[in-house]
Amino acid sequence: MSNVINEKQQMQVLNDRLATYLEKVKRLETTNHELNEKLRAFTVNRVQSSFNLEPYEIQIKPLREKLLLLMQDHTRIALAVDNAKLAADDFRMKFETELAMRQSVEGDIAGLRTLKKEYDSTNAILLTEVTGLEKECAALRDAHQEDMIALRGQMMGTVTVDVKEIESTDLSRVLAEMRSEYETDIEKNRREAENWYTKQVEKKQAEVELITETTVSGSSEITGNRKQSLSLQTQLDATLTEKRNLEQRLVEAQAQYQAQLFSLAQLVGGLEGELTSVRENTLQQSHDYQLLLSTKVQLEREIGTYKALLEGAGEPSNLAALKTPALKVEVVKSGLLSSAAAGAGGGVEVPAPSEAQSGGSGASETAVGGATGYALMSLAGVAADAVMSSGSPAAEI
């Protein structure tokens, strides 16, 4: 009798646990359905939000074209300004070159004027020396004439009486010799003066030519160096301009890449947040799935217990000895049926034992067999639906 009471209590506990499991399965199905609806709505909203950008693209397209036109105009104006600056720099360089050449030519002219003054002063000195030499020559000639006259007077006033016959001196010959000597000296002095003057002139001319050649070569070298310096300065200015343009482009590219990197970082942050939420949802769904799987295993064990109890109660050899257990099984089975109905309807009802004892033994056995099959099919279907429902969100995610 105590065994029967223990079996009744065990079956009652199993019925209560089954009702609790069915209620939990129903609640999980409802939660799973809500999550599926939310996920579907979220996916639809994301797709719609991605496709709703086309009207904005249509509005942005003319603005983008206008922006491109403005950028082209800005680039063209900047290019024109750069060309004007380069042209102004070229004119400035040409002006500086011409000014430097003019100053160098004026310097050369001033040097030539100074050289001309030196030549004029040297020429005046040489003319003065020639005049002095001519005066000296005239003075020598006058002195010679005076000496000749004095000698003639002395010769005329002198009477010489010699016993011996002395060869008389030919005064005309002596005078001619003296004249020839003086003329020779004068000619020699004149030639020496002319030679000295010619040598001095040639020396000065050589110095002038050397100075002129040096000046011309120096001027040409200075002009070439100045032109080379101007060309190098032009190249330097162009290089600096190109460097500034490249630096500006580098700054713009860095700013653009920084903006893109910031947007990508924000996108990555959003994706990481979504990934974290999806991972958490996946872990939660996996936890729920494991919980439902353990519940399914426990339900299968309990179903096995039900089978063992029902099969033990339905053997013909034990029907006479198990009248009361048969009644118990009938009660439990009816309890299973009512629990299944309550699980579908949301409540749990356990019939009284007196209701199970109202039938006969044959009816009890028939009810036990039909209820057993129905209960097994219901429990298997509920467990399979619970497992499939718990697995579907994880599969969809």
Amino acid (one-letter) located at 157: G
CA 63 to mean position of chain CA atoms: 27
The pLDDT score that the predictor gives to residue 162 is 53
Amino acid (one-letter) located at 177: E
The closest of 383, 365, 371, 357 to 306, measured between CA atoms, is: 371
Domain final position from 223, 244, 264: 264
If DSSP codes are grouped into helix, strand and coil, which group holds residue 168? coil
The pLDDT score that the predictor gives to residue 218 is 78
Residues 247 and 379 in one domain: no
Residues 295 and 381 in one domain: yes
Per the structure block, which two tokens stand in for 36?
């599926």
Helix, strand, coil proportions of the chain in percent (round to 5)?
Answer: 90, 0, 10
Per the structure block, which two tokens stand in for 295?
């519940």
CA 376 – CA 311 distance, rounded (Å): 13
Residues 223 and 100 in one domain: yes
The pLDDT score that the predictor gives to residue 345 is 38
Amino acid (one-letter) located at 4: V
How far apart, in Å, are the Cα atoms of 348 and each of 16, 219, 235?
8, 121, 98
Per the structure block, which two tokens stand in for 306?
């039900």
Residues 356 and 252 in one domain: no
The pLDDT score that the predictor gives to residue 70 is 92
Residues 213 and 341 in one domain: no
Residues 189 and 99 in one domain: yes
Per the structure block, which two tokens stand in for 49?
């939000």
Residue 169 lies in a domain: no
Domain final position from 213, 231, 264: 264
CA 10 – CA 99 distance, rounded (Å): 122
Burial label for 223, CB within 10 Å (0-12, 13-18, 19+), is middle
Residues 139 and 256 in one domain: yes
Residue 346 φ/ψ region, left for φ over 0, alpha for ψ in the -120 to 50 degree band, beta for the rest: left
The pLDDT score that the predictor gives to residue 347 is 37
If DSSP codes are grouped into helix, strand and coil, which group holds residue 1? coil
Residues 259 and 288 in one domain: no
User: What is the mean pLDDT for each group of 10 consecutive residues in the chain (397 residues)?
Assistant: 74 84 88 88 65 76 90 91 90 90 90 89 89 88 86 66 54 79 85 86 84 81 83 85 86 85 85 87 89 88 84 50 35 36 37 37 40 47 47 37
Quote the number of domains for the chain: 2
Residues 256 and 372 in one domain: no
Q: Is the CB of residue 343 less than 8 Å from the CB of residue 309?
A: no
